[in-house]
Amino acid sequence: MSTAEPRDLILEKIREKSVLKQDVFYNTIAQFTNLKAVLAACIDDIRKRFGTTDPRVEFYYKDKGDFQAEMKVGGDVIIFHMNTNVFQFDRSHSLWRSSYLKDSDQNSYVGIINIYNFLADSLKYQRSGDIGYLIARLFVNRENHFLIQGKRQLGYLYNDFINSKLDNDALTSIVNTALLYTLDFDMYTPPYEAVQELTVQDIQTLQEHTGLHVGKRLGFRFGLDESQL
């Protein structure tokens, strides 16, 4: 085999894969930018509608850079984070049985936007050991087809990858659904056995940060939330 033959194959792969991944990456950035605008508008509308009902309840939207944004509603913060890598659906995924992927495997490459829920106090008091939860992840390809893997309604409302197109209406619906899920997802009291002993470091943490390490399901596997599906 001549040197030119493998080099030709290398160049072909670069043109095919690298260019495609750049297309997916920059399309995901564009959609993440659109998502930021939707988040800002959502918080502005909620704040106006809530009005002066109770000044203790706080709302905000923060742009945290190219790949992260967050919104606070009451005692919850939802963080949206765009992964900088491009992924392909696993070959065992049911989508590979569809003509959409069979006709072009380029449609199987996606960017990912992860959606996390944290307690607002965890960030306010910088409790670095507190737990946040991945409540959903949004997959979007070069043609703006999308689906969501997530908890409860986030997991079944947005799973038509072949026919669904990501636009501002879809992004607004996703944000609303994430908020509704988060507001319904309450913090449970941990089992007594899990908090009956404290180390000296724990009590120092308690003094410094007004609380022990917590999360909405401290002492419980987050998977138990599946019972609410």
Range of the domain at 199: 4-228
Q: What angle do CA 198, 200, 206 make, to 5 degrees?
A: 70
Q: For residue 129, how far is the Cα from the chain centroid?
A: 20
Q: What tens-digit pLDDT sequence spans the chain (229 residues)?
A: 556 688 888 888 888 889 999 999 999 999 999 999 999 999 999 999 999 999 999 999 999 999 999 999 999 999 999 999 999 999 999 999 999 999 999 999 999 999 999 989 888 888 777 888 899 999 999 999 999 999 888 888 999 999 999 999 999 999 999 999 998 876 666 666 766 666 777 766 666 655 545 555 543 333 444 433 3
Model confidence pLDDT, tens digit, residues 134-188: 999 999 999 999 999 998 888 889 999 999 999 999 999 999 999 999 988 766 6
119 vs 121: CA distance, rounded Å: 5
160 vs 150: CA distance, rounded Å: 14
Structural domain total, the chain: 1
The string of DSSP letters for 51-89 reads TTS-TTS-EEEEE-STTEEEEEETTEEEEEEE-SS-EE-
Confidence (pLDDT) at 222: 39
60 vs 108: CA distance, rounded Å: 35
